[in-house]
Structure 1
C-alpha cells in the first residue's frame, strides 16, 4: 500500500512540475512575442525615424548655420528668404514626412506602448505634426508667412524616450532569448561556446 501511495504521489508531483513548467514556458514565449512586436512595430520604427530625423536636422543646421554656429531659426537675426526657401524644401521633402511617419506609428500602434498612459512626448509629437500640416498646406497655397509648427517639437524628450525604451526592450529580448550581455545578437554555433 505504501508503495502505491508513493508512486501515485510521485506521479502527481511529476505532473504538477511538468504543468507548471509548461505554464512558465508559455508565459515566457508570450512575453517574447510581445517584446518582439513592440520592437518591430513600435519602438524600432519610432527610434529609427527619430534618429534619421535628428541626424538630417543636424546636417541642415550645420549646412545653414550662421557664423556663430546656430541655425537660422535659433538666432536673433531672422532667416533670409533663401534660408526660408531651403527650409521649406527640406521640411516638405524630409522633416514633415518623417514626423508624419512617427505620428502614424504612435497613432496606429499605441497598444504596444510600455506605459499604461500615452507619454507626454508622444502627445507633443502628434500635436507638432498637426501644426506642421497646416503650415505646409499654407506653403502649397503660396503663403509663406509661417515656417514652423505652432507646437514645438519635443526633440530631446522624444529622443531620450525612444532610445531608452528601445534599449530596454532589446535587453529584455536578449534575456528572454537566453543571451548574455556579452553575447548580444551573435549567433551561437553548435559545439562552440
Structure 2
C-alpha cells in the first residue's frame, strides 16, 4: 500500500501548507485593519478638517465667496483685511492642523510595509547620507 501512504502524506502536506497560508493571510488582513484604524483614519480626519477650515476661511473672508477672489485680494493688498484674516487663520487654525497631520505621519511611519518602503526609496533614487546631501 505505498500509494495510500503517498496520498496520506500529500494530503497532510496540502493541509499544512493551506493552513499556513490562511494564517499568513489573516495576519496581513489584521495588519491592514490596524493601519486603517491607527493611521489612515486619523490622517484623513486631519486633512479633512484642514480642507473644511480653509473652505470656511474663503466663505467668510472672500469678497465674493470664491477662492480666486480671495487670493486676488490677498495678493493685491498684503496689508488688507483679507490678508490679515489669512495670516490669522494660518497661524491659529491651518498650521496646527497641518502639524497634527505631520505628527500622525511621523508617529506611524513604522507601520508602512518595510520592504515596500525600501523598494520605493531605491526606485526613486532616495537615499540618506550622513553629514548632508
The alignment's TM-score, normalised by the length of structure 1, stands at 0.51
Residue in 2 aligned with 1:31? Answer: 28
Matches within 5 A, 1:45-60: 45-60=42-57
- 1:37-76 Cα distance to aligned partner (Å, 9 max, x none): 2212222221221112112201211211134832544444
Contact 1:64 1:71 in 2 (8 A): no
C-alpha separation between the residues in 1 aligned to 2:24 and 2:49? 35
Secondary structure of residue in 1 paired with 2:76: coil
Match of 2:109? 110
Residue 80 (structure 1) shift: 4.4
How many matched pairs? 115
Q: Give 5+ residue unaligned stretches, structure 1.
A: 119-193
- Equivalent residue runs for 1:84-95 within 5 Å: 84-95=83-94
Greater relative contact order (Cα < 8 A, sep 6+):
1
Alpha-carbon separation, structure 1, partners of 2:44 and 2:71:
25
Determine which structure has the larger helix proportion and give its number.
2
For the 8 Å contact 2:59–2:65, the answer to whether it is kept is no
Structure 1 stretches of 4+ with a deviation exceeding 6 A read none
Query: Alpha carbon RMSD of aligned pairs, Å?
Result: 2.5
Between the aligned partners of 1:92 and 1:106, the Cα distance in structure 2 is 21
| TM-score between both structures, scaled by the size of structure 2 | 0.70
- Cα separation, 2, equivalents of 1:64 and 1:7: 82
